[in-house]
Amino acid sequence: MTRGLSLVTKDNEVMDISAVQVQLTETQEQKSVITLAYINSQIAVITSQLQTLQARLVEFQVLRDEVTALAKGVKLKVNLDEVA
């Protein structure tokens, strides 16, 4: 009679090697699920940060346009003063 490979656990439980392989595969799958969940949470954080940055960029662009308009007004006033 041929006996398959077995493993003795620290609790002295004898396990067939194929059962150990199944458990390892399940553990790897669980780690993959945990890793994917972590990656998804990080993507959510990054997406939120990008949305905040986009909103700030729009605010900056509005301020830039206002400063540009003010600068043109000041330049125009200076030019008119020079003419007068």
9 contacts 15 by C-beta, under 8 angstroms: yes
Residue % of the chain over a pLDDT of 70: 80
pTM tops 0.75: no
Tell which residue, 29, 9, 5, 8, has the closest CA to residue 18.
Answer: 5
Q: Is the pLDDT at 30 greater than 90, yes or no?
A: no
What is residue 71's predicted lDDT score, i.e. its pLDDT?
83
More confident residue, 56 or 7: 56
Lowest mean pLDDT among 23-32, 53-62, 72-81: 72-81
* Token output for 50: 């990008």
CA angle 39, 41, 45 (to 5 degrees): 115
15 contacts 6 by C-beta, under 8 angstroms: yes
